[in-house]
Structure formats: C-alpha cells, structure tokens
Structure 1
Amino acid sequence: MRSPHWKRRLRVVAEFVLLYGALLGADWLVTGGSGFVTLSPNPYGLPILVMALAYGTEAGLVAAMLSTAVWLSHGEQVAPTGDYLERLLGLSLTPLMWFVMATAIGEVTNIRTRSLRRLRRDRQAAAGDAARLDRAYQDLVDANRALQVRLAIDTASPGRVIALAAAAISAPIDQRRTALRDLLTAATRTDDFTCYRVEPDQTARVWLRGTAAGARPVVLPKAFVHQLDRAADPLSVTTAEDRPLLADIGVAAAALRGADGTIMGCLVIHRTGFATMGSHSSAELAEIATWLPQVLDLGAQPVAPAASRAGRG
C-alpha cells in the first residue's frame, strides 16, 4: 500500500536534513568548514547522486541547489585569484556538473519509476482478470456438477424415457396402460395430462389420464380439436394467441397424427411446473407428439410417426 503524499514529502525532507547534516558535520570535523573545496570529486555531490537515484529529477535538482549554495559560500577558497572569467569558470564548473548529473540520473530514475508504476497497474489488472477467470471457471464447474446431478436424478432424462418407451411397447396388455402412463409422466415432467383419442366425428374422448388428471374434461370441444388440427405447432400458453384456445383446458396441447397426417389423437398438458414452460417447451412437446403415436394404440394398429405438417388456412 502506498504512503500518503505528505508522508513521502516528510520522509524526503528528513533524508535531506540527515545527508547534509552529516556532510556539514564531517566538513567541520575534517577540514574546519572549507566545504571540501580541495577534494575531487567533492563529497557534496553525494546527496545529489542519492536523491536523483531515489526520487528522480526534482529531488536531484533540489540537492544540486543546496550543494551549490554550500560551494559558493566558500568562493574565496575555490577561486581566490585570477581574472573575472577564470574565477567565474572555477566557481561554476562544479555546480554545472552537479546539475547535469542531477538531470541525467533523475530522468533515468523517472523513466524507471513510470515503468514500475505501469507494471504495477498491469499486474493489478492481470490479478483482477485472473480472479474473474477463476470465478467464471468455478461457476462453470458448479454448473457442470449441477447438470450432472440433474441428469442423474431427472426422471425425464433421455435414457429413462427410452427405457420406459421400450417397456411400454413390450408390456403385457393388462399392464400396457400403466407403462404408457409412466412413460408420459416422465416425458412431460408432469402427472397432470390427458391423452385423447379423436373419433371420426372429430370428438376427442379420454383414452389415457395421468394420475393427477382425474377431474379433467372427458370430452374436448370440437372447435378446439379443429384448431389443434390446423395448427402447425403445439399450442402453448407461452404464445399469446393460443391462450384463449387453451382456457379451461390446459397449458399446452399437441396433435397426434397418423402416417397420412390425419389427426388421430391429442396430448393435453393441464398443469406443469413453471420451470418447464420455457421457450423449449413447445419443441419438446412437438418431439413427444412425433414418437408417441408409435407407442400408443389409438387406432386399429400402431402407426409410424408422420412428418410435421404445415398449418392450413
């Protein structure tokens, strides 16, 4: 975590005081306060180097100004004789080198600091992306596990439906209706359904009920059967125009057709769970209506499923 701005400035000031205090003390102890003018390189260039390396150009230039002030305060010892230009050159050469050093080293430090700051931001962004990917992966793992559990316990899984269909076909006549009821309960995910057989006069009478459909209509209105026969797809309350037709009848209905496309029965779902009434429900019901005529004995003999017929009128 980065320190507050004022704390950083206070630390820099404390380092300035420590560095120059130590140099001034050493100067008085070693040379009697001459400013190390006889030493080359001059020790007062050390704070410039340290500050430029640690904090960049700004701190390096401040150190260069302080060192220059100390240097110029001993001007008589730096250039005691000579003409004006010689004295000016003697006084300015060392401070000039200090300012050049502060600028050059400080800029390198600034570039490095900006690079480190950018890398730190990139690292934080990468860490955030990695965390999001980890959460997404965990969500996928959880969803996959939930799906596997659902497939394992779902009574309407494809394997179970196929097994029940095979059992219904091969069941003895006295057990056939029970096997067919179990098959439709698994396929439709509800026990509140009725399978009607359509008579030649277009009257639809109960042929097979689910265990919860005992109070449902025994005969369907001929107008309903006529509309169901004309519909290209199963009727569903998820479609606005189908709701008036299904009123007081159920939530979905599909026509069961013979090999010639003639309606021979219909499957009505009276009530089902909300989760099963999604956009996929009509497609699933249409699929059930495709293979169900092969299993049911609505006519004189089982018939092959008919191809989907386009709506008429």
Structure 2
Amino acid sequence: MTAASDDRTDAGPRRFLGFRRVALVELVLFFAVALGLDLTVGDGLRFDGVQPHPFWIPVLLLAIQYGTGEGVLAALVASVALRLGNMPEQPISQDLYQYLFALSREPILWLVSAVLFGELRMRQIRERDGLRADLDLARAEAEAITRSYRQLKSVKENLETRVAGQLRTVFTLYQAAKSIDRLDEGEVMLGVADLIRTVMKPDKFSLFLLNNGLLESVTNEGWDDENDSYSRWFDHSHALFETVVGRQRLICVARDEDERIMAGEGVLAGPLVSSDTGEVVGMVKIESLGFTDLSVNTVENFRILCEWIGTALAKAKRYREVNEQRLFTDDELYSSTFIGRQAEFLARLGRRMGFETTSITIRPGGLSRLSAAQRAELASAIGRAVRDGLRDTDLACDFGQHGAVFGVVLTGTPLAGARLVAAKLEAAVREALPPALSAIPITFATERVEVRE
C-alpha cells in the first residue's frame, strides 16, 4: 500500500464522494489483491479464522493516515468483504447470541478501532490545520511587515535624498551667492555665471551690460556659434530693449505678448535692477531651459535672481567709480588710478629735465591657496615693508588688483639703481612676513616707465 505524503482537507479534485481519492485507490487495490490471493492460494473463506485478520491492515492504516471517514469506510468494506457470501453455519453448541457475536465481533472491532484511531488522527489534522492557518497568518503578517518596512525604507531614503539634495542646493546657492558679494566687477561677473547655473540650471544663458545706451553681451554659456544666431547687442529700437530697460519688466515666452517680443531670442529675459537705487545695469537672458523646469516658481526665482545680480553689479560699479577718485588705498598706498597719472607725469617731466623714472612690481604667487585672512595679512605685511623701506621721493602704490600686485615708482632712479632698491625691498618684505607665509613666492620686477604717446 502506498502512503500519502500530504493530507489535505480542502474539497477538490483529490476527493470523491467526500473521501480522499488516494484512500479509495489504496482500499480498492488492497482488497483486490487480498481477495485474489484468497481465491487462488487460500481456501476461499476470506481469511476467516486467521488471527490477526489481514483486513485489519486497511482499517488501521486508513484510519491512522486519513482519519475517521476513511477508517470507517475501510471497516465497512472489510466487513462486507468478509461476510458477503461467506456466512458460516451456526454450530449446535452456540445459541443465537453467541452466533451473532461470532459473526459481528471483528466488524465491530474494526468500526470501533476506525473511530478511535480516526478521531485521534482527526485531532492531529485539526491541530495541524490550525498550525498551518497560524503559520499562513504569520507569514502574511511577516510579508505585510516586510512590505511596509520596504516602503518605509524607500520613503525614508527618498526623504534623506531630498533633504540632502536640498542641503546641497542651499549650500551651493550660498556659495554661489557669496561669489557675487564682491566689489570688483570682474569677480562679480564670474560669480554671476555660477549663481545662474545653480538657481536656474539653464542649457544656454547670457549676461548683458548696459553701456552707452546699448545692451552688450559680456558673457554667454552654451551658445553654439555655428547653429545659434542670438544677438550680441540690443539698442533702443529693439522691443526687447524697450521692455527690459525702458519698462523694467521681466519677459517670459509663456505669455503670447512676450513670445512676440523675444522673437526667438530665448525663454526668459529680465532687467538687472539695483534694489538700492533702481538703476538698470544690464540684462540676464536665458536662451534654453528644460521644459519641466519652466514653472511659476522658476519665473519668480528668476525675478529675484535678476534683482540680486543687479544690486551686486551696481554696487561694484559704484565702488569702481569711487575707487577711481581715491588717492590712497586701505593700506595707505597710492591708488592705481592716481599712481598711473603721476607716473606718466613724472616720465614726461624726466624726459624734459633729463632724469629717468623707473618702477618695481611686487607680485606674490600662490594666492589661490591662501584664505582671505591670509591674503589680507600678506598684503598688510608687504605694504608695511614697502612704506618703511622707501625714500621720501619714492611712491608706493597698489596696482589695482586688491592686494595681488604692488608697485613702487622711483623718481630720478636709473634701472641699475632700481634693481638695488628691489633687492633692498625684497629683504625687507621677507623680514616682515609672518612665519606661516614665509615660503610664499614673491617676484620683484624692475622696468623703466615710458611715456605713452
């Protein structure tokens, strides 16, 4: 007999008339073999009188393996197979009750055993099904917890990425904003490009400055000289100039009127207006921007950006204009504007009077590796050494690069004498430098001041 490897309680193709099909197959095969052996080998009495009776085998196996239903079925089939057509005669020594007991003893034992062992098996099956149900529920709960954990983890990672991206964006924006907080116009314009890239992320953009009634392009990024035909200047006759400079209005191609004004020149254009004075100093124009990047927030950010840049450029412009009128710098050196005019005057005077005017250029190296505080300390040390080591007739100056290049104009000193003074200055500067900056390379170049014709 083949033992089933898995008991299933669900009604379906594995059951027939409420009984397991495999149990029915096993029952039929057993009795076919047993009755066949009885007819061919045995005496044809269905093993009557054999103890224990072979028909116990299917009763016990099916009851223990499948439960009460299959066990009772096996007991009934065994009883029919034993007594159907095989009723022994009643002996004279037996009364009716003894005879009936002899006939029904084994069938009754089979039924009792089938019910007893079958119920024990059914209790095991019920406990097993309960454990399976609990296991399925636990697995379902574990899967639900796992899915929830993965979703929560994904949400957490997305939030972390978003927060990290926002922090990087804020930090980058802060760094870019610091880059335009300068007093030199060139440095401001370099920082403007970084600021536009950080805030707007455009594919193509350009910066225009207002000069003598014209908007002139001073920098552009992403332009293809072969395929792009954007204008590099706009005068008062152009609608873009009139709208941006005259009306001080931002232009966005999302509006039909503005699209006609832009005339294919870009997507956004805004005036650079100083928030302090209301002065228009130029224009920022974005020629190409991602479709999904053009939104109401983008336009508002662009408006703020233009005002920010305009204020920075206007401040740098005013600083340049004021600085041109200064006689001394913050380090008590002559300003580059004054010293330029003075050196040319001395050169002309020397040509007429017969004396030479020479200059010494002091240029520190490796400034990009120094912090702002170190650069200020270096400039102060050089300025102090130059002032203390010069003659009364020598003029010390800042050559206009904010502590990057210094100079000395030597009146009535030939080139050979200027080299001697340069050697003396180099020793004084080296002595004045703090220990942390003593290894900074500094060049001292001498030349004759020529008269510009």
TM-score range, shorter chain: 0.5 to 0.7
CA separation of 1:61 and 1:7: change in aligned 2, threshold 3 A? closer
Equivalent in the alignment of 1:269:
286
Shift of 1:271: 0.6
Shift of 1:161: 3.6
Query: After superposition, what is the alpha-carbon deviation per residue over 1:213-247, rounded to whole angstroms, capped at 9, x for unaligned?
Result: 68247351645789984xxxx8756xx6x355235
Equivalent in the alignment of 2:71:
60
- Of all paired residues, the percent bearing the same amino acid is 16
Shift of 1:158: 3.8
TM-score by length of 2: 0.43
Is the counterpart of residue 170 in structure 1 residue 182 in structure 2? yes
| 2:312 pairs with one of 286, 295, 306 | 295
What is the distance in 2 between the residues matched to 1:127 and 1:138?
16
| 2:267 pairs with one of 251, 264, 269 | 251
Equivalent in the alignment of 1:87:
100
| 2:59 pairs with one of 48, 52, 56 | 48
- Bigger radius of gyration, 1 or 2? 2
> Which amino acid is 1:190 matched to?
P
Higher percent of residues as helix:
1
After TM superposition, list the pairs within 5 Å mapping 1:96-135 onto structure 2: 96-98=111-113, 100-101=115-116, 104-105=119-120, 107-108=122-123, 111-112=126-127, 114-115=129-130, 118=133, 122=137
Shift of 1:34: 1.9
Equivalent in the alignment of 1:33:
47
What is the distance in 1 between the residues matched to 2:305 and 2:94?
113
User: Relative contact order, CA 8 A, sep 6+: which one is greater?
Assistant: 1
CA separation of 1:147 and 1:256: change in aligned 2, threshold 3 A? same
Shift of 1:177: 2.1
Contact 1:254 1:286 in 2 (8 A): yes
After TM superposition, list the pairs within 5 Å mapping 1:61-76 onto structure 2: 61-73=72-84, 76=88
Structure 2 gap ranges (5+): 1-5, 224-228, 320-453
What is the distance in 2 between the residues matched to 1:226 and 1:111?
90
Structure 1 gap ranges (5+): 303-313
CA separation of 1:177 and 1:259: change in aligned 2, threshold 3 A? closer
CA separation of 1:286 and 1:176: change in aligned 2, threshold 3 A? closer
Is the counterpart of residue 16 in structure 1 residue 33 in structure 2? no
**RMSD of Structure 2 on Structure 1 (CA):** 5.8
TM-score by length of 1: 0.56
What is the distance in 2 between the residues matched to 1:78 and 1:286?
118
> Which amino acid is 1:273 matched to?
G
Shift of 1:184: 2.0
What is the distance in 2 between the residues matched to 1:173 and 1:260?
17
CA separation of 1:138 and 1:211: change in aligned 2, threshold 3 A? same
How many correspondences in the alignment? 281
Contact 1:49 1:102 in 2 (8 A): yes
What is the distance in 1 between the residues matched to 2:72 and 2:79?
10
What is the distance in 1 between the residues matched to 2:312 and 2:73?
95
